[in-house]
Structure 1
Amino acid sequence: MSDPLPKTIDAVVIGAGIIGASMAYHLTEAGLGVLVIEKEQLPGTGSTAAAAGGIRAIFDNELDIRYALETRAAMPTFEERFGWKPEFRRHGYLYTARRESTLDEYRRDADAGIKCGTGARMLTPEEVPEIAPILDMSGIVGAMFGPEDGYCDPYGVMMGFLSAARKNGARISYRTQVTGVKTEGGRVTGVATNRGEVSCATVVNCAGPFARKVAAMVDLDIPARPHRRYIFVTGPFPQVPKTNPLVLDQDNLFYFKPESGTVIMSGMEEEPDEPDDTAVRWERSEGVAEKALRCASVFSEAGFARAWAGMRTLTPDRRAILGPTPVDGFFLACGFSGHGICQCVPAGRVVAEYITKGKSEDLPIEPYFLSRFEEPQEG
């Protein structure tokens, strides 16, 4: 159900994907009146719908790890709190390495995780088949395993946040296109849409692959570029157990995971493109099939039944952009570089805290500021 546009509201959230949903919930929890504006007729039809749903706490730095750990920790009680099942399956993440240099990177990631309690550990080639017996071990020199990680249903998480935000009084307007962000004296005063104008003092850009276009409405050029990635789905394939971890074959640029009796797999492409061009190039399936066979010869028995493409919005350092901008009242929660599902819980919370209190309470937000991309000034 779409709500009518109010004449005035405290905050406007642009985008009703999983990040916009988290943002709306946390802003309403802080006591703000919130309007979520979504250009499509349903929520979560963009990057959220195309996501594989992975939730992992393995990163190369402590802050990203802490953000992901908060999301992971929220999954077991999510349904109780929000009324929607996240369908979190704690089957683990298995990172295989074919090069010693990759294995060294994994060791550093595992060491960083030990400090934060991720549970990640290194595996010898002899231990890998105990976790994923279907893999071909030729060329595998070792692996890293995150047993507490897994994958979820992004739609359930998004709808949990949106439902809770509605209960808190949030309004959601679908089929509504933001055509401009109104400012006066360097600060936000409202938004213009195809259905009318709304006065507000705060706008949060959660527009995913369209975030750069929204930022341009206030003359900001943010380094968040949409890149297409494909996911191919096999027909029924019981050869991969439903408890198999998500396997990421880094040096083969390939991952797969079981899903409802099928297998989801990707060649981990990063093709820059326009944010609304999600057409599937079926010729890419040949390369994915080759990578799948290198990873596990059992995939010679599989065939692709369907596929989709989604946009990952990448930043130069592959980290999200959160927080304020030079335009007073215009905030960002975008550029998650494929980690939006992993970081959706704290991302909404810390930005809402910054908006309402001028700071985030426990997790630092400053390292995610847009200002980190500014050119250093000489002299």
Structure 2
Amino acid sequence: MQAEVVIAGAGVVGVSIAYHLARRGVRDVLVLERATDFGAGSTAKATGGFRAQFDNEIEVRMSLLAREKLRAFAEETGVDSGYRPHGYLFLACNDAELTMLRNAQRVQHACGLAEARMVDADEARALSPAIGDASVIGGAFCPTDGFLRPLNVLRGYAEAARRLGVRFAFDVELRDWRTNGARVVAAETSQGVVHGNVFINARGAWAGAPVVPLRRNVAATVPTDVFDESLPMTIWSGDWFHLRVRDGRVLLLWPDDPPVDDDAWLAAVLRKTRERVPRLANIAIGERWSGLYEMSPDEHALLGRSADFENLYVAIGSSGHGVMHAPATGQLLAELIVDGATSFDITALSPSRFTG
């Protein structure tokens, strides 16, 4: 096999990159995927949160670009992304947490996220009837945060990419890069050698160092009408216990750190639910699953030219933000490869920050 651009990874990030390259006129793009079809990896396990409420400029700007693209997604690809601006509500239970949220909001406002605002305890409870925790003293809310459908975004980009001539090869696992000096000359795969001129690593949790996989769990209740789909993502900022409603079930999440075993995790989540969301105190769990975050050392993505090879690019290490930022990631990397410049400065995501 051979192509002008060879992308390893057909998750939502890799497929977004392929689409954006083809849209910018690159007609010979080949995407290699270790699974037998789309959506077999982390994309399918994602719960579909979308937010611009971050405490640093680069993440806010990535979200603002992604939001702009999600709003135009159906027109651009023919598929509804599922973006619904039901909001994210971060809760504070003490002054330190409230100060942390205020400081983050200053960054958000400076980046143009004017609609993000602080709320008092009464408004927080009005926004999220899930809150039954008397210790909540306030929080931060952004009404344009919300939810999307990860597999819809993947499907939209995949279908649009195929219409533009992108090729996909499944059941092909990358084993190594074949190099010559400062250049990659081929991808060595389970199905043979693939030659190309530009190579992109978008393999998610399987990307390799410095990215490491981190398992995250989700518990879904049985169907319930206790809360409806308009409930904002409700997050206790002290420990990041959070919940949302999807398809009539409440999804319960808590990023245990360090990770515990599955039964201990579920017991902790149910205890937190009883204490903080008493309306769900007796709810049964209908399903649980886990997915993998692709964690970088500083929990920011690596996006750009590899520090080791002049024609190898990476889009890895999104650290839990891969799906929400995929529209922006694809556009920015395509701009960098085709034009040599990006819509805004992404130096903060440079892969070279972990070298030397």
**Aligned pair in 2 of structure 1 residues 223, 132: CA closer, same or farther (>3 Å)?**
same
For residues 150-193 of structure 1, the C-alpha deviation after alignment (integer angstroms, 9 at most, x for no partner) is 01100000111111111111100111111221111220111122
Is structure 2 residue 212 aligned with structure 1 residue 237?
no
Q: Secondary structure at the match of 2:214?
A: strand
Matching residue of 1:309: 290
Q: Pick from 223, 240, 243 the counterpart of residue 256 of structure 1.
A: 243
Matching residue of 1:169: 165
RMSD of aligned Cα (Å): 1.6
Is structure 2 residue 98 aligned with structure 1 residue 103?
yes
Matching residue of 2:9: 15
Query: For the residues of structure 2 that align with 1:269 and 1:85, how far apart are their CA atoms?
Result: 33
Deviation of 1:247 (Å): 0.5
For residues 228-262 of structure 1, the C-alpha deviation after alignment (integer angstroms, 9 at most, x for no partner) is 00000000121112210011112143110001111
Matching residue of 1:4: none
Query: For the residues of structure 2 that align with 1:132 and 1:321, how far apart are their CA atoms?
Result: 35
Deviation of 1:283 (Å): 3.8
Matching residue of 1:130: 126
**Aligned pair in 2 of structure 1 residues 272, 9: CA closer, same or farther (>3 Å)?**
farther
Aligned AA (1:267): W
Check whether the contact 2:295–2:319 (CA below 8 A) recurs between aligned residues.
yes
Deviation of 1:272 (Å): 7.1
Deviation of 1:72 (Å): 1.4
Matching residue of 2:22: 28
Is structure 2 residue 247 aligned with structure 1 residue 265?
no
* Gap regions ≥5 residues in structure 2: none
Query: For the residues of structure 1 that align with 2:221 and 2:99, how far apart are their CA atoms?
Result: 33
Query: For the residues of structure 2 that align with 1:188 and 1:103, how far apart are their CA atoms?
Result: 49
* Gap regions ≥5 residues in structure 1: 1-6, 213-221, 274-279
Deviation of 1:301 (Å): 2.4
Deviating beyond 3 angstroms after TM superposition, the runs of 4 or more aligned structure 1 residues are 270-273
Query: For the residues of structure 1 that align with 2:180 and 2:11, how far apart are their CA atoms?
Result: 29
Matching residue of 2:57: 62
What are the residue-to-residue correspondences of 1:105-120 with 2, within 5 Å?
105-118=100-113, 119-120=115-116
Deviation of 1:89 (Å): 1.6
Check whether the contact 2:9–2:202 (CA below 8 A) recurs between aligned residues.
yes
What are the residue-to-residue correspondences of 1:353-372 with 2, within 5 Å?
353-360=335-342, 362-372=343-353
Matching residue of 2:312: 330
Check whether the contact 2:221–2:249 (CA below 8 A) recurs between aligned residues.
yes
Count of aligned pairs between the two proteins = 353
TM-score (norm 2): 0.95
Query: For the residues of structure 1 that align with 2:350 and 2:173, how far apart are their CA atoms?
Result: 26
Query: For the residues of structure 2 that align with 1:49 and 1:323, how far apart are their CA atoms?
Result: 25
Q: Pick from 151, 156, 159 the counterpart of residue 155 of structure 1.
A: 151
Deviation of 1:13 (Å): 0.8
TM-score (norm 1): 0.90
Q: Secondary structure at the match of 1:301?
A: coil
Deviation of 1:281 (Å): 2.4
**Aligned pair in 2 of structure 1 residues 227, 72: CA closer, same or farther (>3 Å)?**
same
Q: Secondary structure at the match of 1:127?
A: helix
Query: For the residues of structure 1 that align with 2:31 and 2:241, how far apart are their CA atoms?
Result: 36
Is structure 2 residue 68 aligned with structure 1 residue 73?
yes
Matching residue of 2:204: 208
Deviation of 1:50 (Å): 1.1
Check whether the contact 1:255–1:268 (CA below 8 A) recurs between aligned residues.
no
Matching residue of 1:276: none
Check whether the contact 2:69–2:328 (CA below 8 A) recurs between aligned residues.
no
For residues 93-134 of structure 1, the C-alpha deviation after alignment (integer angstroms, 9 at most, x for no partner) is 000011211111110111222223321100111211110123
Check whether the contact 1:249–1:295 (CA below 8 A) recurs between aligned residues.
no
Q: Secondary structure at the match of 1:192?
A: strand
Check whether the contact 1:267–1:291 (CA below 8 A) recurs between aligned residues.
no
Query: For the residues of structure 2 that align with 1:296 and 1:281, how far apart are their CA atoms?
Result: 21
Is structure 2 residue 281 aligned with structure 1 residue 300?
yes
